[in-house]
Every structure is written in C-alpha cells, then in structure tokens.
Structure 1
C-alpha cells in the first residue's frame, strides 16, 4: 500500500509566481543567467545559486548554507509564504504538444525501502552524496520526484472535476508553457486521496532517482532523526498514461579507427542497412535504429530479432550497445566514456545532423522510445536500465513549491 502525505508547502505569492519560478539552473545559457540574476530580484535562481559569480571560490557546504540563508530572506520579504496547514496540490503543465496533470504530495522513505516505490535507473554515488549534503544544509527541496502510478479512473474523474475550481496560480512562461496550480486543502478530499493511494500496490520513479536516494542516505546516516529531517520526499504523482517518454539518441566522436566503408560492412553483418540519403528518418518500431553518417541518413533493421526472456536484452538501448557501440565502436562505459554524448528525443534529429556535419562527431544513432511497460518490468525485477535510456516529461518549475525538510 502506498502512503502519501500532505505537507505545508512554501510558495510564491500569487502576484510574483511568474517572476519567482524558473527552470533548472543548467537549462540557462550564461547570458540568460546574467540577465535574470541582474534584472529579476525575485527569481528563485538567487536562492539556488547565490554564489553564481564565483562558484569555484566557494566550498559546497558554504554555498549550501548561503542557499538556506537566501531562502530565509525570500520568506522574510514575503516573496514566499508558507501554508497554514499540510495540504496537497493539483498541478497542470500544458506544453505545445501535451497536457500533464498530477498531484503533488509527500511520499515516504519507508515505501522506498520496502519496494512499494520502485526504481529503474542507477545512481552515481558522488551525486547522491552531494545532494544529500545540500538537503542537510539547506533543509528544503524545490524539484519533486516524478512518480508514476497505475491509471485510476476514479482519480481521473476527481481531477477533472477539481480542475473546475479556481486555481491559486495560472501563468505562462517564455517557453510557451502554461502552469496551473490548485490547493487541495479540504480535509475530506485529502483523506479520500490518501485512501485511494493506499489501494495502490506499487509506484514507479520516472525521474528523480538521485533525489530520492539522497534523502534516503540522509535518513540512514541519522536514524534517530536528531537533525530534525522530515523522512519523506516531495513527489509529483502522475498517472502512467499521462507521462511522455522520449528516447535518448547517441552521438559518437569517432568510428574507433574504422573507415566509413569498414564500419558499414560491419553493420551489414547484423543489420539490413538502407541508405535514406537526405530523408530525416527515425525508427518507427522496436529493434529499428536510425543513423546519420557522412551526410546521409540510414535505416538499420536487425536481420534476426532477438528472442529472449531477458528483459534488459529486449531493450533497444541495450541492443544497440551489444551489437554496435561495444563490439564495433569499442565503447565500454556508456555513463563516463568521453567519446559518446546524448541528445534527448524531444529535440529534432536535425540537431544530430548539424552536430555531425560540424565535424565534432562522426556518427549519430536514433532510437525508438522505451514504453511504460518496459520501465515497469525492469523495476519489478529489481533491474537497472542502460544509462540514458529514457528522457521523461513533464519537467517541474523550480521555486513554484518548496518542500521543507
């Protein structure tokens, strides 16, 4: 049974929400950051990176303390306010092509450790430790873990009805996204939602594995909770039918000392290779791969489709690694090898063409997206997907809700 928790969120005042909320720090160019930090005193970027001018001169623990201090400043200046009692939120993100709607709530580390909450991605220890230190010093998080739950018709109906009420926020961003947030503060509705999720056997982390792992590490280091942490994590709960899964495409710097002709001949041993020339071709089904090489697009189709009960061996990302990236291009560690980079599938394949044409990369590969059932099978069997198998939307705005721990 899954347990969800209401919480006392800290959030911008209604008049400042569009000025406070921001994308992740890494999403901005240097010019964009400089402009926002110089001309928007309300941007939550001031909280997240108060030492942005000379970050290399500030130790991580000092920077995290500065983050905590800046959050207090925002609260003192009434840029941010705290709810009067623990509640839930309903949050909708409307992009150019999709509408995502889900419930923001706390989920427990107990469920995480008892495998009620399941994962499908590996984590990097140094990133987990770094974010654990951030949580310990700053005492808050503003980016919820994206969590999938099995589609529930009664919850869907409730959401549709609740959306008819007046939201506390409804604003658009320069990325042409519309963000709408409702407070769920009625005790009866909070209790009903808790009871509905108690009937859910499993939930799946879609995005945010490091955040959950960091909170868990912090709790394990302080089992008596002497530092006063809240042993739960802010989560954006969304029906598995409402998420959007993109592939991560691969671009490689070189052909591992093969000539173009040698490389194509090696591919021909395993694939039907069709030159699509200038057609912007992407795979349309599993076990197909697109390739861009030396000015031409290619369709690669496995000559013999794999017949195996091994869940990982059925994944296109694993097949590409087993048949091409490792044996032909000599790539071993897909997470750390400097010869390979990744382009999320929500970007046009023209991006791959341009990067290869510029000469920095020799070849690009386009994959067919993983689906929800594949993610669940991997998680249910306590397995880990190959690195960069999925790019999942929606993405949350920073500073929209703050979860104090």
Structure 2
C-alpha cells in the first residue's frame, strides 16, 4: 500500500508575489463577483480558478474555451515568474488565523488509492456536473490548484512538528481581503518529512472536511491516466493536493435554516404543532444554541428556545445530527419539506452571518420562520464517515476557508 501522504514540489508564488496571487476559493462567489474581485489584479489566481472572467460576459463556465483560458493564464503566470515550482519535494505547514481562531495544518498530497478504499473517508454526495468540471480543470491545467480540506484525529507527532515549525518566521504571510491571515512554512528537513509520513501511515483514516468534488475528480483523473498506460500508485496523478488539520482545531459554524411559509398553518397552530415534539420557551433575546438538540426559532418578530427531549434522540450517527433532528421532528412532519436538497421553500444561512442574518430574512417578509442550529462537531462528522454514511445537505459550514493560489500540485 502506498503512503497515505507524500511531500511534493509545490507550484507557488515567488517571494513578494503572494499578495498579488492569493484568492478566495473558486466556489464561494459567482462570475460577476469574481470579475469584480480580479479587477486591477492581473496576477490574481481567479484568472486561473474562474477564467470565464477573461472571456465575454455570459460565457458558459463549463465551455471548452474556459478551461483553455485557465491553462493559458497559468502558463503566462509561470512564464512571467509569478509562480515557480520548488526544486525539491517538501511538506508545508499552513496556518489560518481568523479573529481569535487559529488552526495549523500540513500541506501534502494524499493517496488516491487510500481515497478509493475509504481510508480517506467521505460524508457527502457529489454532483456530476461539479465533479466533471473539476476533472476538466485538472486535465486542462495538468495540475490540481484547489486543495482538499482534510482532517485527522489530533496526533502528538504531527502536531508537535507543526507547532515548532510555526514558531519560526513564515516563508509566506498574507492577509486576504476578508481579514483572514494565511501563513506558510516550507518543511524540507528530511527527518521531519520522514516522521510526518510515518505518523500519517500509522493512522487508520483521514476525513474529507471540504472538497468532495475535488478529491473525487482527482481519483477519476488518476484512473483515466492509468487506463491510458501511465504508471500507477506512486505517480504524481495518484495523489491529490490536500491540507490536513487536526480535528480539535477545525472550526465548523452553524448552518441555519429559513422557511418560506408555515405550510398552511397560522402562527398559533404552528406553535402548538411544534410543542408536540419540543419544549418551547419564548426568549427575550436571540437564541444561538450552545448544546446539542437545542434550537432557536424566530417567528413573527419573536425568538423561541426549542429543546428536544432526550428520548427523541436516536443513536444512529446521521439521525442524531442537529439537521436531522430538526428535519425529522419539525421541518418534515410540520412544514411538509421532505427533500431539503430540492425544495425551494427552504434556504440555508451560514452561521458567519449571525442571528441577524436570520432575523433579516424573516423581517423582510421573504421567509416566515428561521431556525438556528447547534454547529455540527468534527466528532459527529467523523462518526458519520466511519459508519460509511452520508450527511444531509447543508450540514457543515467550515471557516476560515483555504486560499486558492497559495500552493498548487503539478502533475508530471
């Protein structure tokens, strides 16, 4: 069995150019927002991750010329010495600082074979169109430019090396437009590399936190190249770009729900129906749950605290998730929404928008009711993945996000 992770020769901004290059992840904005972000920034990585911004407005983002433009822009940034590949294979420590939150992980390439046998464990389904898009992007660039966010159970050997490394002066230190600080340290010491590789080889599994489409696409590219006669298991295409963080440093924010109507019920009848399953108490303040199986509800200008009795909490790792508890005891039976993935009566609000974001959607009249949820824990995510089950849609909201352009993996 090949190593779970390996060092690699990263393609990254040359000294002094990281500020010009680093961009938000490709999938957190639309084309118009990407175009505005890249205006006046010729070296922004958005010209590679969202190359439709350099084509006529309205261009289909999945058109062949979009992927060709990405490759053209990448080649141009290399030719102009904005991006350069490291001479030797290294690991890289990567620290994210968002306000008071700090997390430090390891940039490496992770094994496709480990992914295929579920040693790199998943918790989410992929959508064919998005997966196909990532395959075409990798093939066009001959590189993986968007890192997969992986997590591992905190490990003393790994975490000590990362801690000691991050006490030194970083090789790259940039603060993005959203205020998140991204710092990178090159780990080239042979002994440290061997210890890190061995520590991960001793782990039972690592977990995809964010990046299911990118990891699935990398696996497809690897198998396609093997079928075409390329060497397998230890070639560059047999590994995918990853950043691995210890589970106890990862921050998952709440992922809240807003509903367009009360399914034909008036306010009084709706509250009576909710009280059949929950202990309901009106609150003078907004309700941001601080414990599992507790929820906030904002209805007609008032906040309510909802508590689900312990006997209603199942043991199944998916059924006991907060999103499942709310769905199975309220959103489905009372509001009649059985498919949260497709029903347009429901929308989702990331916890980074706060309780004010929920109030605004209801007070505007756009939505009838909002629910705040306790944030899913990494322990809950790992339990679902270990059981080889799938989380419901919109269960996790990871912050801070990894940057695009800070580091890429070229396929030899």
TM normalised by structure 2 equals: 0.92
Confirm whether residue 83 of structure 1 aligns to residue 90 of structure 2: no
Pick from 152, 155, 161 the counterpart of residue 155 of structure 2.
Answer: 152
Q: Which residue of 1 aligns with 2:258?
A: 251
| 1:236 pairs with one of 234, 238, 243 | 243
Cross-structure match for 1:224: 227
CA distance in 2 between counterparts of 1:206 and 1:313 reads 19
RMSD: 2.0
Does residue 337 of structure 1 match 2:340? no
- Tell me how many residue pairs correspond in the alignment: 404
Distance 2:27 2:239 in 1: 26
Contact 1:147 1:204 in 2 (8 A): yes
Point out the more displaced range, 205-214 or 58-67: 58-67
CA distance in 1, matches of 2:168, 2:309: 55
Please say which of residues 165-174 and 143-152 is displaced more in the overlay.
165-174
- CA drift of 1:40 comes to 1.4
Larger deviation: 135-144 or 68-77? 135-144
Gaps of 5+ in 1: none
Distance in structure 2 (CA, Å) of the matches to 1:129 and 1:35 = 26
1:43 aligns with 2:53: no
Equivalent position SS for 2:244? strand
1:345-364 mapped onto 2 (5 Å cutoff): 345-364=351-370
Q: Is the 8 A contact 1:150 1:240 kept in 2?
A: yes
The 1:207/1:51 distance shift into structure 2, 3 A limit, reads: closer
Structure 1 339/226 Cα, relative in aligned 2: closer, same or farther at 3 Å? Answer: farther
Which residue number corresponds to residue 109 of structure 1? 112
Displacement of 1:284: 2.1
Q: Alpha carbons of 1:26 and 1:123: their partners in 2 closer, same or farther (altered >3 Å)? A: closer
Alignment of 1:227-376 (within 5 A): 230-277=237-284, 279-303=285-309, 305-376=311-382
**1:4-53 deviation line (CA, Å, top 9, x unaligned):** 11111111112111111011345458776444433111211122223225
Q: Does 1:119 align with 2:126?
A: no
Moved more, 174-183 or 80-89: 174-183
What residue is the counterpart of 1:175 in the other structure?
A: 178
Query: 1:135 Cα shift?
Result: 1.6
Partner of 1:162: 165
- Mapped contact 1:287–1:305 kept (Cα < 8 A): no
Q: Which residue of 2 aligns with 1:139?
A: 142
Structure 1 residues 200, 25: CA separation in 2 closer, same or farther (over 3 Å shift)?
closer
